[in-house]
Chains A and B, each alone.
Chain A
Amino acid sequence: EPEVTQTPSHQVTQMGQEVILRCVPISNHLYFYWYRQILGQKVEFLVSFYNNEISEKSEIFDDQFSVERPDGSNFTLKIRSTKLEDSAMYFCASSDSGLSNQPQHFGDGTRLSIL
């Protein structure tokens, strides 16, 4: 079964540095998402992306964050000037249509540790 893949599985970064988290969604999917899960807390929506633009973003997704689909397969989340509180698991997800028809498929996540 096709999977969403995320790299790296663990990223350690100094506070203030930029980090790029990478995702390869399922190949025929059109909708892409990033979610965040701070340790011990619930999964929180960050952003959704469709047709090469952001379709919705949460209040967490401020100017520090950006997303990009640089080619036909990758979907990236960039965090500029990281802060300690950015430490979390970041999950990428994709779906081929709206939630009424198809669920979102999640990757295994990237654990981001800010030192």
Chain B
Amino acid sequence: AQSVAQPEDQVNVAEGNPLTVKCTYSVSGNPYLFWYVQYPNRGLQFLLKYITGDNLVKGSYGFEAEFNKSQTSFHLKKPSALVSDSALYFCAAETGANNLFFGTGTRLTVIP
């Protein structure tokens, strides 16, 4: 069965420090992987995707993610966190027929 796991419900980081939000996947074939962010009372906003090619993917707002096939991971990273980065982050994988399967989400809190 295909699945996406986000092992941390909550991540706290001090402003200015690097942040990592973890994601692992179990997807048959070559995965298409995504990160979305959700602010309160808003829909999901696309951050970045991995389809093929370079394992380090750069996205919106200074975020990047590293695809690691051997560890089946796609962790989201940012070198220096901002208070405005505080939100709910979802990792997702394509499951075929162009639809997305989401992880359970990680709430990121950046502490001033």
Segment touching B, from A11-19, A65-73, A75-83, A93-101 = A93-101
Q: Which of B12-48 contact A (CB under 8 A)?
A: 32, 34, 36, 41-46
Query: Please, how many angstroms separate the alpha-carbon atoms of A86 and B64 in the complex?
Result: 35
Given known pairs A42-B90, A42-B102, A100-B51, the reply for A48 and B34 (CB within 8 Å) is: no
Task: Tell me which residues across on chain A come within 8 A of B36, comparing CB atoms.
Answer: 106
Q: Which of B67-112 contact A (CB under 8 A)?
A: 90, 92, 94-105
Task: Tell me which residues across on chain A come within 8 A of B90, comparing CB atoms.
Answer: 42-43
Task: Tell me which residues across on chain A come within 8 A of B99, comparing CB atoms.
Answer: 33, 45, 48, 56
Q: List the interface of chain B (C-beta within 8 A of A).
A: 32, 34, 36, 41-46, 49, 51, 90, 92, 94-105
Given known pairs A91-B44, A105-B46, the reply for A99 and B100 (CB within 8 Å) is: yes
CB of A21, distance to nearest CB on chain B (Å): 13
**Does B104 lie within 8 Å of A42, measured CB to CB?**
yes
**28 examples of A-B residue contacts, CB within 8 angstroms:** A41-B104, A42-B90, A42-B102, A42-B104, A42-B105, A43-B92, A43-B100, A43-B102, A44-B102, A45-B95, A45-B99, A48-B97, A55-B97, A55-B98, A56-B96, A91-B44, A93-B44, A99-B98, A103-B46, A103-B49, A104-B100, A106-B36, A106-B43, A106-B44, A106-B45, A108-B41, A108-B42, A108-B43
Task: Tell me which residues across on chain B come within 8 A of A31, comparing CB atoms.
Answer: 98
CB of B52, distance to nearest CB on chain A (Å): 8
**Does B98 lie within 8 Å of A48, measured CB to CB?**
yes
Q: List the interface of chain A (C-beta within 8 A of B).
A: 4, 6, 31, 33, 35, 41-45, 48, 50, 55-56, 91, 93, 95, 98-100, 103-109
CB of B95, distance to nearest CB on chain A (Å): 8
CB of A42, distance to nearest CB on chain B (Å): 5
Which single residue of chain A is at the shortest CB-CB distance from B42?
A108
Q: Which of A33, A91, A100 contacts B32 (CB 8 A)?
A: A100
Which single residue of chain B is at the shortest CB-CB distance from A44?
B102
CB of A25, distance to nearest CB on chain B (Å): 12
**Does A99 lie within 8 Å of B43, measured CB to CB?**
no
